[in-house]
Amino acid sequence: MQQYLISQHYRHPLFGEVAIRVCPTSRRFSARWKGQMLTVNIPPRTTLASFQKILDQWTPELLAKRPRTRYTDGQTLTFPDFTILIRTSPRVEPQYINSKHLSTADSSFAIEVGPGVDFSNPSLEKHIAQHIRRIATFMASGTLPALADAEFRRLNITPPPRVTISHGLQRLGFCSPTQRRIALSLAVMFLSDELRRYIICHEIAHLTHPNHSAAFHALVDTYTDGREADLERQLRAFPWPIPR
């Protein structure tokens, strides 16, 4: 009797763990990388032999498109106010990960994993990213409100709005004109100083213009000395150290 694949995980010698997803309405195969994991969408009534055949045909192209490993042993992530060293350590048990403050003088941190780990493992990448977020959150509370206050003084914004730190990554900033409150994402900590100030100026402009009208963009351009378009291009091209 013919057996058909169901949605499951499949171990491949080159791709590692592959996620198979049966799409009830699909008639074609498709594949894409999600981080370091390959996901293959297959039609119903697909056999293991036909799945392996199509995967073999696609192997060269899929290997060429495989994303680079985001984190590596000995890698240092450098930001304006702090650094994070990612490394293996014999003091950490296998399958464990921890982070620690190395020096208060220069705000350096380390994320340590056990020896022999596979840095291409999607689960490890996810856990390292979680530790990076925690470190950024710790640093943000003492950095971003002070940077925002400096911009309020420079632009003569009175009374200055209240500044809070948000834990979301998709929205880098949020402004409530009625509450006179600005929220800055922890992800702003990864940006250069000028891009941080750009995000803050963007939110300050929302105190006057709640929407993204032409008048709003003109005000942002004034706040940024005519560099709004340039700074927005830099922001769109920024290489984020964690998935957003």
143-180 pLDDT, tens digit per residue, is 999 999 999 999 999 999 999 999 999 999 999 999 99
Model pTM score: 0.77
H-helix or E-strand spanning residue 18: strand 16-22
Q: How confident is the model at residue 121 (pLDDT cuts 50, 70, 90)?
A: confident
Cβ neighbours of residue 78 closer than 8 Å, sequence gap 6 or more: none
- Which tens digit of pLDDT belongs to each residue from 211-227? 999 999 999 999 999 99
The burial of 74, by beta-carbon neighbours within 10 Å (0-12 exposed, 13-18 middle, 19 or more buried), is given as exposed
Tell me the chain's radius of gyration from C-alpha atoms.
Answer: 23
- Which tens digit of pLDDT belongs to each residue from 49-79? 999 999 999 999 999 988 888 899 999 999 9
Tell me, what's the pLDDT at 35?
74
Q: Per-residue pLDDT for 134 more than 80?
A: yes
> Percentage of the chain with pLDDT > 70?
100
Cα-based angle 83, 238, 127 (whole degrees, multiple of 5)? 50
